[in-house]
């Protein structure tokens, strides 16, 4: 009976519907959480997290069914489902699942455990998935704003904490400002091409002279907006403040999923519309990458707050990933995709350790709070070491393989100076990552209590560690998975 | 018939006003208003191009930008109210708990 009814509803829907099923399922679960939240009392709010995880699971199943599609456009070619979109979709879903697992205990300690948190997280994920599969300026803009608006609210979710309020206001003002600039660039792109479709825009840009002022203004405004979203220098100022103010599990999400989504946007635009005018931006992107590595790696050295330290280190990582775009070879793009995949696990893992330090009455974000972790909770100290080794890019962890592909692509294209810069910046990175490890392993614990690891946190930490070690020792499968993004038509067009 | 370039100049002026407002004003509400000016500059651009190119995409885009501006104002004012309740100020340079 039910099967029959569902079947009949299914017949009514257009075939294209299957292509956005992953997003639709997340949306249904997000709305469901908003409803069930009213029925749950204080003690059983964790059911919201279970529902959210179920939504992520169903969405992943729907996305799995799309994995073999090659470039299907739908809805008047406003979205395209290609391996690129599927790869990034999985990345966002993994990140969302890890963040949900890490949030339950954290929100209980903060006494802000509400269903809206999970609903907003799922809405943000919907935005990201549309961002990765948008092939039209309108879809890209809406995806970006769906994600950004959800994150503004999530950053300010700890309403009674002043730093959270302040982080949210800063994120909102600077984020909305950059979205406005980006939208201005989009309006010029539409004016130049007469279409909002990225493929059409690429054709129009190819036939314009590269010095055309309209083309250059659109390039400058769109790049400024996108660089802001990925927190690249000189548009990085918001990152440390927002990372410090936001609830720690949301910081993990902003630094990982939101960054990956913005990279998807960056690649979609720069590898289609802006590819014909590549000589005008290649040096600028290289400069931004070097500046990001410099400010990120040297800024992190002096930080005493763990979340700020990881914020600066994430600015440095953005620099590395941008170098893959400068090289613009298959290895470069594969490197960006693989780096982002690894980054999901290693950075979420690092923030998970910070979450463990949060307890009643202890904020636990200062580097001193790590002191003597090895004697208080040896497992956490060992995992911290693994995450830091991976972030610094030391073999046999997966972080090394990510950096390896970026270096490889730079050397292939003869960017030796950039490759040397990138290699040199591993030194300051080693210094500040090991400063964190030294606090955990060498310092006296003082009177601090043992951190408790809940079941959900344990699962998330185990997943992160397992991935970093497996992808570091047996990387082939994962490299192939990242390599599938190259099969996407828009990348095939420029790589041919 | 007003030529399209006139619209683009108005839009550019509006955009510049908005950017200057964001960069120089201290009051958070006025900064938010300046951001709305930028989005309105975008809308003028989109509709002018849409008219000039005889394509409807731009007008559809403009409607979505208006929707986004409304959502942004709703979320933004909510966040600002939460901030004001805790801090009793709306001035950007008094946000100094987190170093800029």
Residues in chain B whose beta carbon is closer than 8 A to a beta carbon of chain A?
A: 8, 15, 18-19, 22, 28, 31-32, 35, 38-39, 41-42, 45-46, 48-49, 52-53, 55, 57-58, 60-61, 64-65, 68, 71-72, 75-76, 78-80, 82-83, 86-87, 92, 95, 97-100
Q: What is the pTM of this model?
A: 0.95
Helix pair A162-193, A137-155: axis angle to 10 deg? 170
**Quick check: A184 and B98 CB within 8 A?**
no
Q: Do B38 and A244 touch (CB under 8 A)?
A: no
Q: Which of A373, A382, A266, A387 is nearest to A326 (CA)?
A: A266
A7 falls within a domain: no
Among candidates A288, A295, A301, which has minimal Cα distance to A428? A301
Residue B15 in domain: yes
Q: Which residues 6+ apart lie within 8 Å of A317 measured at CB?
A: A296, A339, A343, A347, A391
Q: How far apart are the first and last CA of chain B?
A: 49
Length of chain B: 100
Q: Is residue A11 part of a domain?
A: no
HSE-CB of B35 using CA atoms within 13 angstroms: 26
Whole-number Å distance between alpha carbons of B18 and A427: 42
Nearest chain B alpha carbon to A159: B82
Domains: count for chain B: 1
Q: Looking at residue A260, what is its pLDDT?
A: 96
- Cβ atoms of A132 and A89 closer than 8 Å: yes
- Is A2 within a domain? no
- Domain assignment of residue A372, yes or no: yes
Q: Which of A227, A285, A230 is nearest to A261 (CA)?
A: A230
Residue A39 and residue A420: Cα distance in Å, rounded? 58
Tell me, what's the pLDDT at A417? 93
Q: ipTM surpassing 0.90, yes or no?
A: yes
Q: Residue A142 in contact with residue A195, Cβ under 8 Å? A: no
The domain total for chain A is: 1
Pairwise CB contact (< 8 Å): B72 & A159: no
The verdict on residue B99 lying in a domain is no
Query: Rounded CA gap, A365 and A249, in Å?
Result: 12
Residue by residue, pLDDT tens for chain A (496 residues) are: 666 766 676 666 777 888 999 999 999 999 999 999 989 988 889 999 999 999 999 999 999 999 888 888 988 889 999 999 999 999 999 999 999 999 999 999 998 899 999 999 999 999 999 999 999 999 999 999 999 999 999 999 999 999 999 999 999 999 999 999 999 999 999 999 999 999 999 999 999 887 889 999 999 999 999 999 999 989 999 999 999 999 999 999 999 999 999 999 999 999 999 999 999 999 999 999 999 999 999 999 999 999 999 999 999 999 999 999 999 999 999 999 999 999 999 999 999 999 999 888 788 889 988 998 999 999 999 999 999 999 999 988 999 999 999 999 999 999 999 999 899 999 999 999 999 999 999 988 877 788 889 999 999 999 999 999 999 999 999 999 999 999 999 999 888 7
Of A166, A179, A184, the CB nearest to B97: A166
Give pLDDT, residue A273. 92
Average pLDDT of chain B is 93
d(CA A437, CA A447): 19
Give the range of the structural domain holding residue B68, as residue numbers without chain letter.
4-94
pLDDT of residue B94: 82
Q: Under a CB-based contact definition with an 8 Å cutoff, are residues A99 and A253 in contact?
A: yes
The pLDDT of residue A71 is 86
Q: What pLDDT, on a 0 to 100 scale, did the predictor assign at position A209?
A: 84
Residue B72 lies in a domain: yes
Number of other CB atoms surrounding residue B23 within 10 Å = 10
Q: Which of A187, A246, A304 to mutate to test the interface with B (most CBs of B within 10 A)?
A: A187
Range of the domain at A78: 17-495
Look at residue A2 in the predicted model and tell me its pLDDT: 65
């Amino acid at each position: 009976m039910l099967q029959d009814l569902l079947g009949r509803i299914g017949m009514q829907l257009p075939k294209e519907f299957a292509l956005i099923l992953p997003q639709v399922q997340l949306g249904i679960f997000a709305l469901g959480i908003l409803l069930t939240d009213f029925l749950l009392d204080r003690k059983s709010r964790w059911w919201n997290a279970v529902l959210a995880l179920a939504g992520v699971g169903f969405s992943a199943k729907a996305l799995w069914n799309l994995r073999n599609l090659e470039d299907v456009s739908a809805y008047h070619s406003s979205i395209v489902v290609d391996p690129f979109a599927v790869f990034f979709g999985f990345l966002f879903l993994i990140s969302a699942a890890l963040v949900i697992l890490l949030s339950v205990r954290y929100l209980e300690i903060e006494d802000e455990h509400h269903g809206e948190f999970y609903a907003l997280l799922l809405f943000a994920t919907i935005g990201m998935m549309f961002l990765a599969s948008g092939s039209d300026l309108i879809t890209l803009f809406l995806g970006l704003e769906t994600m950004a608006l959800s994150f503004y609210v999530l950053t300010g979710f700890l309403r009674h904490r002043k730093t959270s309020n302040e982080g949210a206001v800063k994120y909102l003002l600077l984020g909305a400002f950059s979205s406005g600039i980006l939208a201005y660039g989009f309006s010029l792109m539409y004016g130049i091409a007469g279409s909002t479709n990225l493929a059409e825009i690429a054709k129009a840009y190819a036939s314009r002279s590269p010095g055309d002022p309209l083309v250059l203004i659109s390039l400058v405004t769109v790049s400024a907006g996108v660089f802001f979203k990925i927190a690249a220098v000189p548009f990085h100022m918001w990152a440390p403040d927002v990372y410090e103010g936001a609830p720690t599990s949301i910081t993990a999400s902003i630094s990982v999923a939101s960054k990956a989504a913005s990279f998807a946007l960056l690649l979609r635009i720069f590898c289609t519309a802006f590819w014909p005018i590549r000589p005008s931006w290649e040096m600028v992107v290289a400069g931004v990458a070097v500046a990001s590595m410099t400010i990120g790696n040297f800024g992190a050295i002096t930080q005493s707050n763990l979340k700020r330290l990881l914020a600066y280190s994430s600015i440095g990582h953005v620099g590395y990933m941008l170098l893959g775009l400068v090289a613009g070879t298959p290895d470069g793009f594969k490197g960006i995709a693989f780096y982002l995949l690894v980054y999901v696990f290693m950075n979420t893992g690092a923030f998970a350790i910070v979450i463990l330090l949060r307890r009643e009455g202890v904020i636990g974000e200062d580097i001193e709070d790590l002191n003597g972790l090895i004697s208080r909770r040896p497992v956490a100290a060992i995992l911290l070491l693994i995450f830091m080794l991976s972030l610094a890019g030391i073999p046999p962890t997966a972080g090394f393989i990510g950096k390896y592909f970026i270096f490889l692509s730079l050397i292939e294209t003869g960017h030796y100076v950039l490759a040397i810069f990138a290699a040199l910046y591993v030194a300051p990175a080693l210094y500040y990552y090991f400063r964190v490890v030294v606090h955990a392993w060498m310092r006296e614990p003082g009177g601090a209590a043992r951190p408790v690891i809940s079941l959900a946190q344990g699962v998330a930490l185990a997943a992160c560690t397992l991935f970093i070690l497996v992808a570091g020792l047996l990387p082939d499968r994962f490299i192939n998975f990242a390599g599938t993004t190259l099969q996407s038509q828009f990348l095939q067009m420029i790589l041919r | 018939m007003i030529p399209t370039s006139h619209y683009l100049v108005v839009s550019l002026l509006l955009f510049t006003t908005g950017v200057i407002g964001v960069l120089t004003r201290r009051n958070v509400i006025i900064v938010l208003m300046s951001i709305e000016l930028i989005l309105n500059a975008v809308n003028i651009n989109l509709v002018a191009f849409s008219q000039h190119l005889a394509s409807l995409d731009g007008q559809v885009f403009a409607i979505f930008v208006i929707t986004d501006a409304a959502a942004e104002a709703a979320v933004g004012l909510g966040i600002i109210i939460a901030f004001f309740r805790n801090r009793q100020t709306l001035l950007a340079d008094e946000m100094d708990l987190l170093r800029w």
